[in-house]
Amino acid sequence: MSLHLFDTATRSMREFVPQVSGTASIYVCGATVQGVPHIGHVRSGLNFDVLRRWLGRDGSTVRLVRNVTDIDDKILAKAGEHGAQWWEWAYQHERAFDDAYDALGCLPASYSPRATGHVTQMVELMERLIEKGHAYAADGDVYFSVTSFPEYGALSGQKPDEVHQGESAATGKRDARDFTLWKAAKPGEPSWPTPWGPGRPGWHLECSAMATAYLGGTFDIHGGGIDLIFPHHENEQAQSRAAGDGFARYWMHNAWVTLSGEKMSKSLGNTVSIPAMLERVRAPELRYYLVGPHYRSAIEYSPEALDESVSAYRRIESFLRRVVERTGAVGADGELSPAFVASMDDDMGTPGALAAIHKRLREGNTALESGDDPGARAAAESVRAMTGVLGLDPLSPQWHDASAGGAGRRALGVLVERLLEERSQARKDRDFARADALRDHLLLAGIAVEDTPDGPLWTLKDD
C-alpha cells in the first residue's frame, strides 16, 4: 500500500503523489507569536513533523516551511499591555515557540519565514489580484472580492451567501463578505509603504505570499489546525488561485487539544503551557502523548491520559535499556513491521503504529525471558527503527538527557537493570522469596517496579 492522506479539499482519502518525484513540499501555518506556547499550539508542529519523517524515510527530500506571524492585532495589544515594543514582544515569543519545538524533538523547519520580512511579495500578490479584478483598494485598505471568484467556499464547504469573515466593519468594503488583504495605517501602529498608502498586512495574505515564495506557485501539502479551514485557508486558496497560482495540491488539518470540551485558547484561559508540562513529564513522554492519537482526532487533555502515555513510553524505554544491558549497543536500522507500515500509510495512523511497536516489544521481552539474546536484539532494533519514525526513539541522541535523566540516572539505570535481571532469573527459577526481596530492596531505595505485559517497568517514586 502506498501513502494515502485525507484531503480536506476533496473530503476523501487520496494517494499521495508528489509534484516532483523524490521531493515533497509542505507548508504549515505556524504560530502567531503573542504568548507562551501551550500543548494545543505544538500539536500541529508535532503531527507534521511525523509526516515529514515518514515522507523522508526513503531518502526523499522534504521541504517543510512553517511561518511565523509576527505582526497581528493580538501581538500589538499584548505588547501594549506589557509596555513592550511589538517587535520585542513577538521575537520573545517566537523564541519560546522555537524552544518548545526543539524540546519536543521537532526537526528544524527548512525555513521559518516571518510575515514582516515578506511585504514585497505581498504587495506583488495584491497587484496581481487588482489587475485581474479580484481585489480593490479603498481608503488605504485593500480587499479581496469574494463574488469575483466563483470557486470561493470549495475548501470549507461554506456557501458564499452565508459567509461571515469575522472582521470589523469597514466603510470601504463593497461587500460585507469581502476580506482584508491590507490594513491602512493607524496612529501609533507599525506600517510599511505600498502603492495604496502605508499599512500592514492582513493575516490571510501573509501565508499565500510566504508559501509561494519558498515552495513555488504550486506545492504538495498545506497543513494546519482544523480551526484554520475557514476563513484562513479558504481565503488563502481563493486569493492564490484567483491570482493564477495552483497553490496546495493536498490540504491536511489536525484536530484540537481540548480541555473540558473546549479548544485550548489563551482567550478562554484554558491552556496548559509547554514549560509547565515539562516540569511534570519528560519531553519524549509529552511527545508520545501528543502524537499517539490520530492527527484528525481531538485530544481531550486529562492528567490520567497523560500518565498512561508516560507509562507506555517508559515500557519502551525500559525494554531497550534491558536489551542494551544484556547484549550491548543496539542499532536503529531494524525492520519496520508490516503492521506499522500499513498504519502509517493509512493517513498517518499513529495509534496502529504504536500498537505495532508494543507488539514487537512484547516479542522482545519474551525473547529476553527465554534467553534468546539475538531475538531480543532484533526486536530492539525494530523498536528503535519504528519509534525513530515517530521521533520517539528513547536511545536517540536527541533524548539522551531527557530519557536518561542525565549521567546520574544513566548510572542508576545500569544498576537497577542489573537487579531486575537478577529478579527475572529468580522468578524463572521459582525462587519467589529472592525475587520479592529484590523488589523490596529497590522499593526501599525509592524505586517502584511494575510487572507489565511488556516486561518490568521501574520508576523513581517521585517521578
Q: Does residue 346 lie within any of the structural domains?
A: yes
- Which of 201, 231, 263 terminates a domain? The answer is 263
What is the distance, to the nearest Å, from the Cα of residue 63 to the centroid of all Cα atoms in its chain? 15
195 and 52 fall within a common domain? yes
Supply the range of the domain harboring residue 94.
4-263
Same domain, 233 and 317: no
CA dihedral 343, 346, 351, 354 (to 10 degrees): 30
- 68 in the same domain as 17: yes
- Same domain, yes or no: 124 and 155: yes
pLDDT computed for residue 1 by the predictor? 67
Residue 44 lies inside a defined structural domain of this protein:
yes
Is the same domain home to 330 and 201? Answer: no
Q: Same domain for 315 and 434?
A: yes
CA angle 61, 62, 68 (to 5 degrees): 145
Instruction: Please tell me the predicted confidence (pLDDT) of residue 165.
Output: 92
Do 253 and 384 belong together in one domain? no
Q: What is the pTM of this model?
A: 0.86
Domains contained in the chain, number: 2
Q: Return per-residue pLDDT of the chain as tens, 463 residues.
A: 699 999 999 999 999 999 999 999 999 999 999 998 999 999 999 999 999 999 999 999 999 999 999 999 999 999 999 999 999 999 999 999 999 999 999 999 999 999 999 999 999 999 999 999 999 999 999 999 999 999 999 999 998 888 899 887 778 999 999 999 999 999 999 999 999 999 999 999 999 999 999 999 999 999 999 999 999 999 999 999 999 999 999 999 999 998 867 676 655 555 688 988 998 899 999 999 999 999 999 999 999 999 999 999 999 999 999 999 999 999 999 999 999 999 999 999 999 999 999 999 999 999 999 999 999 999 999 999 999 999 999 999 988 765 444 445 556 666 776 787 788 788 888 888 888 888 888 887 878 777 766 567 676 655 5
Phi-psi domain of 446 (left: phi exceeds 0; alpha: psi -120 through 50; beta: other): left
The verdict on 290 and 345 lying in the same domain is yes
72 and 106 fall within a common domain: yes
Q: Which of 236, 263, 290 is at the close of a domain?
A: 263
Query: What local confidence, expressed as pLDDT, does residue 404 receive?
Result: 42
Distance, CA of 80 to CA of 263 (rounded, Å): 26
Say what the pLDDT of residue 462 is.
54
Look up residue 250 and give its three cell numbers: 493536498
275 part of a folded domain: no
What DSSP string describes 83-128?
Answer: T--HHHHHHHHHHHHHHHHHHTTPPPPSB--BGGG-HHHHHHHHHH
CATH number at residue 30: 3.40.50.620
191 and 328 share a domain?
no
Predicted pLDDT of residue 421: 76
Domain for residue 150, yes or no? yes
Is 355 among the domain residues?
Answer: yes
Is residue 170, in this structure, part of any structural domain at all?
Answer: yes
What is the residue-wise DSSP string for 207-238?
HHHHHHHHH-SEEEEEEEEGGGIIIIIHHHHH
